[in-house]
């Protein structure tokens, strides 16, 4: 598994993933905005780059000093999606959070609701509510 600091990840690699992900979700018209977003955060993130999936994690500290690990983005190619890989990725998120001495692991989804039932069954609690305006 290739885990690397975001400062070492080229925007070419990031942009190739952006094109693929946004195409699947009908968001290809947002490629430039997605690229700009990742360019702004990549140097403070941790990337996991695999042939069939990627993940972007960002360690931080809340206003009370509690260390957190944010799952900023991850994607598994359609042809590689299966529960075994998904669970392995989730386990890796927890391992990395612990390696960075994080007390909290934060993740959600803005592209669908299927992830939420899994997260709830695995100890996640509601911490953020979102309202489309």
- Whether the pLDDT of residue 111 is over 60: the answer is no
Closest CA to 57 of 72, 42, 43, 67: 72
Q: Give the phi and the psi of residue 20 in degrees, each rounded to 5.
A: -65, -50
Q: Is 86 exposed, middle or buried (0-12, 13-18, 19+ CB in 10 A)?
A: middle
Query: Residue 113: which pLDDT band, with cuts at 50, 70 and 90?
Result: low
Query: Residue 130: which pLDDT band, with cuts at 50, 70 and 90?
Result: low
What's the whole-number average pLDDT of the chain?
A: 90
Closest CA to 74 of 56, 47, 50, 49: 56
Residue keyed to tokens 């992900």: 21
- Whether the pLDDT of residue 131 is over 60: the answer is no
Specify the pLDDT at position 93.
Answer: 95
Q: From CA 69, how far away is CA 132, in angstroms rounded?
A: 25
- Whether the pLDDT of residue 119 is over 90: the answer is no
pLDDT in tens, 14-66: 999 999 999 999 999 999 999 999 999 999 999 999 999 999 999 999 999 99
Choose between 69 and 129: higher pLDDT.
Answer: 69
Residue keyed to tokens 């190739």: 16
């Amino acid at each position: 598994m290739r885990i690397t600091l975001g400062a070492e990840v080229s925007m070419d690699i990031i942009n190739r993933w952006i094109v693929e992900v946004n195409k699947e979700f009908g968001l290809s018209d947002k490629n430039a905005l997605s690229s700009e977003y990742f360019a702004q955060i990549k140097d403070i993130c941790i990337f996991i780059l695999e042939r069939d999936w990627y993940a972007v994690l960002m360690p931080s500290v809340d206003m009370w000093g509690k260390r957190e690990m944010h799952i900023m983005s991850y994607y598994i190619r359609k042809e590689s999606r299966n529960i075994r890989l998904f669970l392995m990725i989730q386990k890796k998120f927890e391992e990395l959070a612990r390696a960075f001495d994080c007390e909290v692991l934060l993740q959600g989804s803005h592209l669908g609701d299927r992830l939420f039932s899994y997260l709830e069954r695995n100890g996640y609690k509601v911490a953020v509510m979102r309202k489309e305006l």
